[in-house]
Structure 1
């Protein structure tokens, strides 16, 4: 604050003058990985009755790749990024900036893995910094992600959902085909509900990955809510 200039030009203190101002508000983002389960392109492996092929990315592989991409984009922009794992809530990474923190985020993503869900619905919305934007990486195979998104939006947090379900192979067995048809319809209903509520959704699988990368970069740039200081 330049009090001499203020006293000279504005004796009544109607206007305050400063020598220089460059105030920026860092954007805070939280990456939320839904690692409660891990599914591959083959429906027969979804309940543990088959072996996942190492040459086919699973939903968790796609989630790690997508989360690492947006983390890199945000950290390079100077924003603060945190990490929450819905299956491992004990050690979240609080939002921070810098390349060293980016390595912590990548390490945290590498540790993401499914846990036992036999105890029922236990997902609670993680605690988030005020005004943080949320990137949720999920398959949308149950209603929990929809509940989380609505809770965060009610609290005033912008939310971007990244669909990490792999491209599912055609199902031959009749009982599996019926089960997948029902699950797919329910998933489409959730996607339609998100679209109706104005929640951005980015698919991150198969042929749409290249287009998703471009859209993701645009969404990451949109998250940078820098507020410049004002000079009277």
Structure 2
């Protein structure tokens, strides 16, 4: 409805005023006109101030892409609404999107604030519900609407989880970065003192040692390189309940938020970060650096959806030497466990981040024996713990995600192990 229509209030005022005037004339009682005079005034003022121009309404979001927990505003834009007095707006509620006003309904004067404040509480593509908007003229005589506005779409990126690590990369293989290399070069980390050789820079001369020995000596330093990082996310299953950023987190929630935090941390340190989402489509993003690449990576995480199934027996992570691999998975798929064990035996620095919620209880299908289902789940967890122990025995650490400092000790151990001679299985 895009044209102004008389409201039921105006119709009642017209009927009562007409009946009163007719009754006063018929019965000869002028006092009746006095009784219906308020309705006469309302009818007269509504007709005199009837809107002439057709109004148009539309709504827009201030931001169509933002992180979990952040807020935006859905603004209502009106044209030709000079004669509008009241705006009524009702928005359909959708899961994982908080609104203010809470119910998504507001009534305000045309000159007041009639915008909706929105805050997505979970990552992913969020399709907002449709809205009904009605405009009312002065004296509530005429109304435009209800006008139905289609739902808007927003992309919600994973929350910026507080994560930081001071651990160095186990095997940096790049050109320039913040990680200490195993080879000497033009860095800032002290390595040793050696005799002067042709090509050494004069500013590297160590004068105290040179004067003591009678021969020129120079200071050597470790090179600083960047590292290649691959984040592998298991999207084969989502276990547990998801209540958004303020409540319980499912296994996929933990995995996606941890993947985003790890990627942001390594990009901030200048590393090249790649992404692989395990599922039916096997989404891959080649390693690269920079904030633009991080934004693209987080966008892929936001578009992740559950793809139930199992990985084939010959599945491999497909990474080269020197790449640090983070596998974020509940480790319930045999294909994932086998691929991780194979990569670890090859000598690759692989870290498994366990995303299975600690207090998870499986939902029981109606008609199933609860005790039997609980026994089956406990047996499955015991089998999983046994697999993780065998995986840790191969040199692949398994740690639960705990936010800042989760991987410091693990990466320190991998960096020390990388400096030792080892035999790799090809």
The answer to whether structure 1 residue 191 and structure 2 residue 383 are counterparts is: no
Whichever of the two has the greater Rg, that structure is 2
Correspondence 1:143-182 to 2 at 5 A: 143-169=334-360, 173-182=370-379
Whether the 8 Å CA contact 1:75–1:97 is kept in 2: the answer is: yes
Whether the 8 Å CA contact 1:30–1:132 is kept in 2: the answer is: yes
What is the alpha-carbon distance in structure 1 between the residues aligned to residue 261 and residue 328 of structure 2? 12
The alpha-carbon deviation at position 186 of structure 1 amounts to: 0.6
What is the alpha-carbon distance in structure 2 between the residues aligned to residue 220 and residue 77 of structure 1? 15
Deviation larger for 212-221 or 76-85: 212-221
Whether the 8 Å CA contact 1:70–1:220 is kept in 2: the answer is: no
Match in the other structure for 2:231: 31
Match in the other structure for 1:17: 199
Match in the other structure for 2:252: 60
SS at match of 1:213: coil
The answer to whether structure 1 residue 203 and structure 2 residue 400 are counterparts is: yes
Residues 191 and 116 of structure 1: CA distance in aligned 2, closer, same or farther (over 3 Å) = closer
The alpha-carbon deviation at position 168 of structure 1 amounts to: 3.0
What is the alpha-carbon distance in structure 1 between the residues aligned to residue 249 and residue 346 of structure 2? 34
The alpha-carbon deviation at position 202 of structure 1 amounts to: 1.6
Residues 101 and 177 of structure 1: CA distance in aligned 2, closer, same or farther (over 3 Å) = same
Whether the 8 Å CA contact 1:27–1:223 is kept in 2: the answer is: no
SS at match of 2:312: coil
What is the alpha-carbon distance in structure 1 between the residues aligned to residue 271 and residue 317 of structure 2? 20
Whether the 8 Å CA contact 2:276–2:282 is kept in 1: the answer is: no
Residues 160 and 74 of structure 1: CA distance in aligned 2, closer, same or farther (over 3 Å) = same
Deviation larger for 84-93 or 70-79: 84-93
The answer to whether structure 1 residue 114 and structure 2 residue 298 are counterparts is: no
What is the alpha-carbon distance in structure 2 between the residues aligned to residue 148 and residue 196 of structure 1? 15
Unaligned 5+ runs, structure 2? 1-195, 204-220, 365-369, 417-426
The alpha-carbon deviation at position 38 of structure 1 amounts to: 1.0
For CA contacts below 8 A with separation 6 or more, give which structure has more relative contact order: 1
TM-score (norm 2): 0.41
Whether the 8 Å CA contact 1:131–1:156 is kept in 2: the answer is: no
RMSD over aligned Cα atoms: 3.0
Number of paired residues? 195
What is the alpha-carbon distance in structure 1 between the residues aligned to residue 327 and residue 230 of structure 2? 8
The alpha-carbon deviation at position 31 of structure 1 amounts to: 0.2
SS at match of 1:215: coil
SS at match of 1:177: helix
Match in the other structure for 1:104: 296
User: Higher helix share goes to which structure?
Assistant: 1
SS at match of 1:39: coil
The alpha-carbon deviation at position 86 of structure 1 amounts to: 1.2
CA shift digits 1:185-230 (9 cap, x unpaired): 01110121122222222212xxxx2xx53123555688889xxxxx
What is the alpha-carbon distance in structure 2 between the residues aligned to residue 110 and residue 141 of structure 1? 23
SS at match of 1:141: coil
TM-score (norm 1): 0.72
